Structure 1
Amino acid sequence: MRTFILLLFVVTNLLPSISAGCPDGWISYGGHCYYIGYEALLTFPEAWLYCDIRGAYLTRLDTYSEYSFLRNFLKITKVSAGAWIGLTDQTHEGIYQWYGTNTSPTFSDWGPGQPDNLGNEDCVGIWAAIDYKWNDFQCVGYKLRPLCEKIST
């Protein structure tokens, strides 16, 4: 029964959005295309470059519904470790901004006790260990999967 429910979710929620102007292997939501680098565990700068090479950027979560969609997708596909998003406080400690635009997020979904800046953590990822909520990590001392985004064509 659980398999049937999972399959039903995928068919009704994810399959219609797989193409919609996005390259093969990307998923579509709200006029944007997303790609999870399942094959790569990278530092934040490496993840940024990984996305850039694909004509994309580390995901900027503009709305809670966008985040909810991606969080559920990460959960369903059981992305181990977690995924980098393009949020950082490298410029000003404690002031998180989207990398490349320097705009502030309109919402947050930090895990319990986060952000804690333990060991100078300046980059943000969605972490599997805390139910795919936000966590701050060391930008070059930790590796997650890249979660890339670009506007659909």
Structure 2
Amino acid sequence: MKLKILISTILFLVSFESFAYQKEIDKFFKLYEEGRIVEAVDSIYSTNKWMSNKSDEIQNVKTQMQNLQTLVGEYHGKVKLGEESLEDRLTYISYLTMFERQPVRLEFVFYRPKDKWIIYSYSFDDNIDEELIDFSRKKIVGRMEGS
């Protein structure tokens, strides 16, 4: 019985901790989907006081995000691709966002130096198709070698 309680408590704490950074990501997407792009970027970076030292880089991200729809068309939603954690201290979360012209990957890395999760990095790119092709080729070749 004590083991069940301990396991339940651990699972609750792990899910609560991951909820903290997921809440920040959800807030980012809510602002983005409302067309409040600059606020979305400010929101995701607001979890880390050290980001103020990178104001030029953050301004560049804001500008690129504002110009994104001009390049790839209207936004049509998102899909979470996955999440990986290292020792419950560093977590990578990847999303595929769908636009009229092409998909764009958004990547969030959160870091927990003590008890709170903070954004460590945020980026986006459109190279996901190249990686999908490379991954698929390796997978197909692996199947052929195993035959």
| Smaller-chain TM-score bracket | under 0.3
Which of the pair is proportionally richer in helix?
Answer: 2
The structure with higher relative contact order (CA 8 Å, sep 6+) is 1
